[in-house]
Amino acid sequence: MDFLPTTLSAISASLLQGETTCVSLVEHSLSAIAASHNEINAFITTQSDAALARAKQLDSLSTTEKQSLPLFGVPVAVKDNICTKGLKTTCGSKMLANFIPPYNATVVEALEKAGAIIVGKTNLDEFAMGSTTESSFFGATKNPLDTTRIPGGSSGGSAAAVAAHTVPLSLGSDTGGSIRQPSSHCGIAGLKPTYGRVSRYGLVAFASSLDQIGPMAHDVVDLGTALSVISEADTRDSTHARKQFSIAPESYTQKLNTMVVGIPQEYFAEGLSETVRTAVNNTIEALKVNGISFIPISLPNLSYAVATYYIICTAEASSNLSRYDGVKYGLRASGATSLQQMYTKTRAEGFGAEVKRRIMLGTYVLSAGYYDAYYLKAARVRTLIANDFNEAFKQCQAIVAPTAPSAAFKFGEKENDPLALYLADIYTVSANLSGIPAITVPIKNASSPIGIQFMAPRWNEETLLRLGYAVQNIPRI
């Protein structure tokens, strides 16, 4: 069974009807991972023995037990900054290259409870800091649709794993667009839930007030199924709202003739490639046939979003990554003759260039004399940006935007220009700063993989899924 265009419901039906088995699906997945590894490098670690043992256990269940599991027998890939008990969680870094967590993240527990089978951990930019998956200690991931181009990041491995048909579903994390941007570049769908919808317990922190785990798949309905599973209540994360998501199957096909979607002028200004602009505008025109109304809106503080994001995320990264000092766990450099030298050598050897850059930026904006000028001001602008969205949502139920300013670019194209890479997040970071949900869905009639993005008020993922489903069902030309 090929995992494209097979949906999760089709996989479950095939299993329940006896057309295939969990063991066969896992063997197919592991074989596809091995066959594509040298070319794509989507996975850092796989667990064949554990996955096959789990598959055999699931195959032995009764029909009633199988039918009660929403992800029965589904092979799933998990981004390698999400803790998995007994399986390496490296964060794409030398610092944690041999770290094996003693516990599972809440989302991993939820997946297994729902009948999913974790087949491996996917590659990512080191500590999820990047937009290309080039900064991984384990080498860059390639875009399965064109291996000369980036898959996006930081969840590039998770996007590539789905796009390469090795798994039908993966989990990523999104701090400033790290689910949506690689999904767009790899031609799949990705969902960043409302901040607090999914527990972050077991997610290795990059920027705690921005990070959120979400699903990536070919099919929008699969995103809804996955979100309903991973959003289960959890008391171990103080930021988790314990609002489990659910959606009725008929919601996807309900008419959208009362839907009003805002088009922010700021998202369609200078810097957007004409290829993306044309593809997004054509999709908007196609959606009007469904009765969706599009109105112009303004988000006046959006121009400050990227600067605000990078001040806040680097500050939080500086704080979160201070725990990696060679004492508690992870890498410890050899040859140090003092405690201070051990700290210095460990962090110098264990972190890559991009992580060091962000730690230094974050330490600077938090330092005495600069906290008020940078971090505190960024926190205030963050509130202004959130208020802009709140005001906009009084006029519309969702907002449309490009996912990325261009299609996937070639490897090395922006290697020496970190500022250009940071600006690639221009259309995604505002959703993280505001804590609102956002989805990207591939545009069918585009000349290259391009995603269209929708954002909605907090806790309104259903609106996004319905819009995404409508995009997914636009006829090919």
Q: Which of 154, 184, 318, 430 is catalytic?
A: 154
- What is the spatial distance between Cα 389 and Cα 300, in angstroms, rounded to a whole number? 10
Over residues 56-99, the pLDDT tens digits come to: 999 999 999 999 999 999 999 999 999 999 999 999 999 999 99
Closest CA to 93 of 311, 358, 287: 358
| Residue of 206 and 447 predicted with greater confidence | 206
Over residues 243-254, the pLDDT tens digits come to: 999 999 999 999
Give me 472's structure tokens: 């997914």
pLDDT-wise least confident of 170-184, 306-320, 417-431, 456-470: 417-431
Q: Which residues pair with 217 in a beta bridge?
A: 169, 189
- What is the spatial distance between Cα 467 and Cα 461, in angstroms, rounded to a whole number? 10
What is the reported pLDDT for 2?
A: 61
Q: What is the mean pLDDT of residues 180-192?
A: 98
- Measured in residues, the chain has a length of 477
Residue 447 among the catalytic residues: no
Q: Residue 93: is the preceding peptide bond cis (ω within 30°)?
A: no
Over residues 34-64, the pLDDT tens digits come to: 999 999 999 999 999 999 999 999 999 999 9
Q: What is the mean pLDDT of residues 20-36?
A: 96
Q: For the chain, what percent of residues have pLDDT higher than 90?
A: 92
Beta carbons within 8 Å of 372's beta carbon, 6+ residues apart: none
Phi/psi at 410 (nearest 5 deg)? -80, 155
CB 217 within 8 A of CB 168: yes
DSSP 171-238: EEE-SSSTTHHHHHHHT-EEEEPPTTTS--TTBPPSSTTT--EEEEESSHHHHHHHHHHHT---SS-T
Residue 410 among the catalytic residues: no
Phi/psi at 15 (nearest 5 deg)? -70, -45
Over residues 389-444, the pLDDT tens digits come to: 999 999 999 999 999 999 999 998 877 777 777 778 899 999 999 999 999 999 98
Q: Which of 12, 29, 36, 79 is catalytic?
A: 79
CB 467 within 8 A of CB 454: yes
| pLDDT band of 270, cuts 50, 70, 90 | confident
Q: Which of 135, 170, 178, 318 is catalytic?
A: 178
Give the full edge-to-edge strand order of the sheet including 438-442: 43-46, 117-122, 75-79, 169-173, 213-217, 189-192, 438-442, 451-455, 398-402, 260-264, 293-297
Give me 236's structure tokens: 């171990």
CB 149 within 8 A of CB 408: yes
Beta carbons within 8 Å of 311's beta carbon, 6+ residues apart: 365, 374, 375, 378
Strands 75-79, 169-173: parallel, antiparallel or unpaired by DSSP? Answer: parallel
Residue 178 among the catalytic residues: yes
Question: Has residue 3 got a pLDDT over 90?
Answer: no
